[in-house]
Structure formats: C-alpha cells, structure tokens
Amino acid sequence: MSSRITEVNKDTFWALIAQAKEHPGGPSEWLMERLMDLGPEQAKKFDDIACAYTSLAYQYGLWTAASVMERGGCTDDGFIDFRGWLIAQGREVYMAALKDPDSLADAADYQDQRFVCLPHMGDRAYEELTGREIYEDFDPAGYDALKSELKQDIVYGDGIGYPYDAADAQVYLPRLCQRYMPEGVNIGTWNINSLEIRAARATAQKSKKIKKDRGDSR
C-alpha cells in the first residue's frame, strides 16, 4: 500500500493523478476531496504545478500532434484542453510526449476524456476552502521558480518548437497520423497573421526527420 500523501510536490502531484484514476466512478470527486483534506496551501501547490506543466507543454510540435488527434485542427481553447488531457495521462506519457509527440500513438484514445478535469481540481478545492479565486493569491516569483524547477526534468524533442503543416506532420508524426488520420492528414491551418507563428516559422528548427525526408536546409 502506498504511503499517505501529506504534501504536494512534483512527485506527489503525479501520484495523486494516478491514484485518482483508480477511482473510475468519480476520479475528479475523489481528488477534490483529497485536496480539500490537505488544505488550501497544498491545493494551491497542486494548481501551481498543474499550471506550470500546462505552460511547459506549450510547444507547436505538440500542438500539431493535438491537431492530428482532433482529426482536423486544434483551436487555442482546444490546445488548453489537450494539455489538460495530456497531464491527466500521467508523468510517463507527458514526459514522453514532450520528447517525441509521436509517442502519443501509444497513449489512450484522445476521445476518452474521463480524466480531463483532474488537473483543475486544485483550483476548485482552493476556492471551496477559502472562498477566494486562486488567481487572487498568485505569486509570480514563486511560480517562475517552480516552473524552472519542473522544466529541469523535461527533455524537449528535436523540432518540437516548429508549427508544422499537414505535409510535414505526416513525416514528423507518422504513427500518430496513421492512428488518427489513416485516410489522409488534414490539420487545418495556422494563423499566419500571428506574430508568434511567424517568429516560430522563421526561427525554430524543423525536426531532423523532415530535413532528411524533404532535403530542407534548416
């Protein structure tokens, strides 16, 4: 039997996600109750970690994967939901996806959204315990330090910062495309008026797989 969790940190965060998923009848309710038992400080830590992992997964190569798994494109809000789903899959799946988004071909079906609310339970527990919105007690310096700490465990994969088009996606994410779009890849189009997209296309490196396949110079 696992030891009882009394404090939320990067390890117990993932343990709580895993334990919640053992309660398929009400995983979010179980996690909500558990965080309320731990108290507002620990509920806030859980939310801070969830937010940091969500932010650290903001990578265009992963967004391309989300567009494939959505079977036709992924909006800004959709990518937020996707990253919540990704965190809910657990540490191994999350870390593997940031190293190689194509590894999501081995993950649970994206249409299974049973656990998507789990990363948001800290926010809800904190508000229930304190009567305050969690953003009212946001500590920017503490959050930045936490995000830097969590980032040290992440290995970002080759080319994960580039926003791929459909043709490149088939080379970058061959297994994922085969699983979710076997009849042909259509991931929609990026907002070419976005300064962030323009900057990423101008400066980010494509995956070496695409360079080799297409003979790209960068």
Please name the amino acid found at residue 190. Answer: W
pLDDT above 60 (res 13)? yes
How far does the chain reach from its first CA to its final CA, in angstroms?
Answer: 51
Q: Is the pLDDT of residue 3 over 70?
A: no
pLDDT of residue 72: 87
**Of 101 and 23, more confident:** 101
Amino acid at 9: N
Give the pLDDT confidence of 16-29 residue by residue, as tens digits: 999 999 987 799 99
Q: What is the pLDDT of residue 1?
A: 39
- Name residue, tokens 């999350």: 94
pLDDT, mean of residues 60-86:
94
CA distance 60 to 202: 13
d(CA 57, CA 172): 17
86 vs 147: CA distance, rounded Å:
17
> Taking all residues of the chain, what is their mean pLDDT, rounded to a whole number?
92
- Looking at the chain, the whole-number percentage of residues with pLDDT higher than 70 is 95
Taking alpha carbons only, the member of 36, 217, 52, 211 closest to residue 129 is 36
Q: How far apart are CA 169 and CA 63, in angstroms?
A: 11
Section 43-69 average pLDDT? 97
Cα 65 to Cα 79: distance, rounded to the nearest angstrom: 10
CB 197 within 8 A of CB 163: yes
Rounded Cα distance between 158 and 209, Å, is: 9
User: What does the pLDDT read at residue 212?
Assistant: 64
Q: What is the pLDDT of residue 213?
A: 60
Alpha carbons within 13 angstroms on the beta-carbon side of residue 26 total: 5
pLDDT at 114: 82
* Dist CA 204 CA 196 (whole Å): 11
- The pLDDT > 90 percentage for the chain reads 83
* 102-159 pLDDT per residue, tens: 999 999 999 888 899 999 999 999 999 999 999 999 999 999 999 999 999 999 999 9
Q: Is the pLDDT of residue 218 over 80?
A: no
Q: What is the largest CA-CA distance in the chain?
A: 58
Q: For 77-91, 128-142, 165-179, 182-196, which range has the lowest pLDDT when averaged over its residues? A: 182-196
Residues 6 or more apart whose CB falls under 8 angstroms from that of 180 comprise: 68, 69, 71, 110
67, burial (CB in 10 Å: exposed 0-12, middle 13-18, buried 19+): buried
Indicate the DSSP class of residue 75.
-
| Res 23: pLDDT | 87
- Rounded to 5 degrees, φ, ψ at 99 are -80, -35
The pLDDT of residue 53 is 98
pLDDT at position 184 is 87
